[in-house]
Structure 1
Amino acid sequence: MSSDVFPGPLGPMPEAGAAAILWMPSPAEALRPVRFVDGFEPFADFLRGLGIDPALLADDLAATWDVVAARPEILDRPDLAAAAARFVGNVIAVVHPAATWRMTSEPEIGTNTLSIPVAGLVQGMVQQPDQRDAFLQMLASWEQDDIDDEEMRALSAEDSAPAVVVVPARAYVRPALPPLTFHDDRGEVIRYGRRWPDGIAPEESYSRESHPERFAPLLLVVDALVEHLSREYEVEARRESGEDGTERVVLEPARGARVVITPTVPSVSVEAGAHFHAIVPSCICDACDETAETAADELERILLSVAAGGFREKYPVGRRAWLYTEIRSPDGDRRESSSGPAPEMPAEARERTGALLRGLDDGWWPAWPLRSTPV
């Protein structure tokens, strides 16, 4: 189906749960995501009734915003509001050609980096018309965000692996963690890790952090990891105080990425290499339902991977000079990557760390050398 308003064929709205759903109006157009959806015609007719040519708004999001904002009666008619949402989404697809339609809890138009619920957007246009410039400013970086995303996805898809993975003969063994029992306000035992069997946490649980002391056993895991790594690898372990007086453990290997661990309750901070920084657990809210055991899994994965040579940092990457990091488990079964702006630092320090990372083998830090005679 073609349109005299938007510069491309029209497709049906994707079904719920699908992103960039494929539609096949003809074999020639098979495998094409839905860029423009139908169903906007009642709003186009509404515009014509006002003496406004909808085709003149098709590539002008600011003007479309002003027209919608000036007519609050649009929200009084659900059918017209729904058609307006589709029209606005199609306008966004003209302004940002990479955007396609998807259906979640409501229709959205977007890409991997930004997806816009259009019904809520139309409501916002009417109820908060002064937000137009802020919204347009947000969209101004969308194209670059997509480019960054493509660059990082390409890095993640690379067939790159550590040159050497070094694993000691004696495997790390997690210490026994003491069983801790916590109760809610009604006196019932809280089953952390199994609180939301259907996977849906109550809204209020996202802002509640009950019993953060349940992560205290992580300190035992830190001690066990430091002992294991110091025994098996050529690494100097020393305890020192940070600038704020908090005790931290510095692991300085004979070769490879330096690690700094700051063990506190409820979370443990891990710094490695030039820029890597992780907080374990990353969130302690009730909705995430983390336990000391799941946090220990993450902490062990990071530290054992760094020591074995499964730690990668690439910087600068792409036009924005972003940082790309990757952690790969010693057995190669698990791989996680992240990307984003590098920490703020003076230009001289930025150039120094950039040169350091460029000198690595495709960003992979070398494995820590094993001790010839484990202690």
Structure 2
Amino acid sequence: MSSAVFPGPLGPMPEAGAAAVLWMPPQADAPGPVRFVDGFEPFAEFARGHEVDPALLAVDLGATWDFVAGHPEVLESETLAAGAARFVGNVIAVVHPAATWRMTSEPEIGTNTLSIPVAGLVQGMVQQPDQRDAFLQMLAPWEQDDIDDEEMRALSAEDSAPAFVVVPARAYVRPALPILTFHDDRGEGIPYGHRWPDGIAPEESYSRESHLERFAPLSLVVDALIEHLRREYEVEVRRERGEGGTERVVLEPARGAQITITLGVPSVRIDAGAHFHAIVPSCICDACDETAETAADELERIVLSVAAGGFREKYPVGRRAWLYTEIRSPDGERRESSSGPAPEMPDEARERAAALLRGLDDGWWPAWPLRSLPA
């Protein structure tokens, strides 16, 4: 079905989950992405009734915003509000031709980098008309965001692997962590790590952080990791005092990426290579339900992977000069990547880091050399 309003064929609204993740390989019998959906005609007729040509609104998102904002009665009719949401989404697809429709909890229009719930957008146009310019500015870098995302996905998908992975003959062994018991306000034990058996955490748990002392055993894990690395690899270990009196351990290998571990409460910070940093646990809210054991899993995976040679940094990537990092476990079973702007630093330091990374083998830091004699 074609339309005299939008420059392309019309399709039905996708079913829930359809085309929601655009990077997944399409199924043979799956419907193609929908750029323009039908069902906007009630709003188009409403515009005509106010002597406004919907075809002119269709090519001007700012004018569409002004028209909707000036007619709050759009929200008084369910049919008209739904038509307005579909019309506005189609206008966004004109602004950004790569955008397609998907259905989540409500209809959305977007790409991998940005997806816009259209019913909420129409409500915002009516209730917060002063946000017009801010919304248009938010859309301005969308095309470049998509280009950057495509470049990063290509890096994640490419068949690149470290030249050598070095694993000591004596494996790392996690120390026995104390069994800690915590109670809620009613005196009942809190089963951290198993609080939400159905996988659904209550809304209020996302803003609650209880018994952060449960992460105190991470200091034992840090000590064990440092001793293992000192014993097995050619690495210099320095203990320093960081900001606020926090303890910082610098591990400088004879070759490979330096690691700095900063102990804090409740989190441990890991810095490695030129730009990489991670906070473990990454979230301490009750909803995430992390424990010292799950945080130790992440801490050990990162540190041991860097030492073994499973650490990759590429910078600068793309026109925005973003940072791409990859951590691959020594056994090759786990591979995780991330991308985004590089940390802020002086231009001279940034260029030194870029030159250093350019000298690596496709971004892979070499494995730390093993000690020839036991430490």
Shorter-normalised TM range:
over 0.9
Aligned to 1:265: 265
1:302 is matched with which residue?
302
The 10-residue stretch of structure 1 (301-310 or 199-208) with the greater mean CA deviation from structure 2: 199-208
Task: Report the secondary structure of 1:194's partner residue.
Answer: coil
Deviations 1:260-295 (A, max 9, x none): 001122100000001111000011000111111110
Does 2:94 match 1:108? no
Residue identity opposite 2:325 in structure 1: T
> Where does residue 288 of structure 2 map in the other structure?
288
Matched with 1:33 is 33
User: Among the aligned pairs, what percent are the same residue?
Assistant: 87
| AA aligned opposite 2:241 | S
> Distance between the aligned counterparts of 2:126 and 2:88, measured in 1?
13
Partner residue, 1:255: 255
Give yes or no for the alignment of 1:81 onto 2:69.
no
CA contact (8 A) 2:19 2:102 kept: yes
Aligned residues: 369
Distance in 2 separating the partners of 1:243 and 1:283: 21
**Residues 255 and 366 of structure 1 are in contact (CA less than 8 Å); yes or no, is this contact kept in structure 2?**
yes
CA contact (8 A) 2:20 2:104 kept: no
Match of 1:279 in 2: 279
Q: Say if 2:374 is the partner of 1:374.
A: yes
- Equivalents in 2 of 1:37, 1:278: separation in Å? 42
Note if contact 1:14-1:21 (Cα within 8 Å) is conserved in structure 2.
no
* One-letter amino acid of the counterpart of residue 259, structure 2: V
Residue 131 of structure 1 is matched in structure 2 by: 131
What amino acid sits opposite 2:135 in the alignment? F
* Matched-pair contact (CA < 8 Å) for 1:233–1:374: no
Please tell me whether the aligned partners of residues 21 and 33 of structure 1 are also in contact (alpha carbons under 8 angstroms).
no
Structure 2 contact 21–112 (Cα < 8 Å) conserved: no
The 1-side partners of 2:2 and 2:114 are apart by: 26
Task: Answer yes or no: is the 8 Å Cα contact 2:92–2:99 preserved in 1.
Answer: yes
- Residue segments in structure 1 that go unaligned for 5+ positions in a row: 23-28
Measured after TM superposition, the shift of residue 15 of structure 1 is 1.1
1:213-232 equivalences under 5 Å are 213-232=213-232
Question: Which residue type is aligned with residue 347 of structure 1?
Answer: D
Q: What whole-Å deviation, never above 9, does each CA across 1:32-90 have from its counterpart, x for those lacking one?
A: 31111111111111111111111111111000000000001111101100110000000
Partners of 1:235 and 1:254 within 8 A in 2: yes
Maintained 8 Å contact 1:14/1:20: no
1:243 Cα deviation (Å)? 3.9
Q: Distance in 2 between matches of 1:183 and 1:107?
A: 42
2:145 corresponds to which residue?
Answer: 145
Secondary structure at the counterpart of residue 18 of structure 1: coil
The secondary structure found in structure 2 opposite 1:32 is coil
Q: Contact 1:61/1:95 (CA < 8 Å) preserved in 2?
A: yes
Cα distance in 2, alignment partners of residues 305 and 117 from structure 1: 39
TM-score (norm 1): 0.96
- Is the 1:15–1:21 contact (alpha carbons within 8 Å) kept by the matching residues of 2? no
Q: Deviations along 1:80-134, whole A, 9 cap, x unmatched?
A: 0011000000000000011110111100001111110000000000000000000
CA gap 1:198/1:17 in 2 versus in 1, 3 angstroms: farther
How far has the Cα of 1:31 moved from its partner? 5.5
- Measured after TM superposition, the shift of residue 30 of structure 1 is 7.6
Distance 2:37 2:346 in 1: 48
The match for 1:98 is 98
TM alignment of 1:189-204, pairs within 5 A: 189-204=189-204
Instruction: Note the C-alpha offset of 1:346.
Output: 1.3
Tell me, in whole angstroms, the C-alpha distance in 2 between the residues paired with 1:247 and 1:336. Answer: 28
Residue aligned with 2:244, SS: coil
Aligned partner letter, 2:229: L
Question: Aligned letter for 2:262?
Answer: T
Aligned twin of 1:44: 44
- The structural deviation recorded for 1:187 is 1.2
C-alpha distance in 1 between matches for 2:200 and 2:33: 30
Distance in 1, Cα, partners of 2:30 & 2:313: 39
Within the alignment, does 1:188 sit opposite 2:188 as a pair? yes
Normalised by the size of structure 2, how large is the TM-score?
Answer: 0.96
- Residue 206 of structure 1: CA displacement? 0.8
* Farther-moved stretch of structure 1 (292-301 vs 244-253): 244-253
Instruction: Tell me by how many angstroms 1:21 deviates.
Output: 8.4
| Structure 2 counterpart of 1:25 | none
For the residues of structure 1 that align with 2:241 and 2:188, how far apart are their CA atoms? 40
Equivalent position of 1:64 in the other structure = 64
Secondary structure at 2:323 match in 1: strand
By how many angstroms is 1:17 displaced?
A: 2.5
SS state of the match for residue 244, structure 1? helix
Supply the distance in 2 between the matched residues of 1:196 and 1:46 (Cα, whole angstroms).
Answer: 48
Structure 1 residues 67 and 327, CA gap change in structure 2 (3 angstroms): same
Deviation at 1:185, TM superposition (A): 1.1
Give the 5 Å matches for 1:318-333: 318-333=318-333
Distance, in Å, in 1 between the alignment partners of 2:8 and 2:257 is: 52
| Residues 313 and 357, structure 1, Cα contact 8 Å, conserved in 2 | yes
What residue in structure 2 maps to residue 167 of structure 1?
167
Give the root-mean-square deviation of aligned CA atoms.
1.3
1:272 partner amino acid: A
AA in 2 matched with 1:322:
W
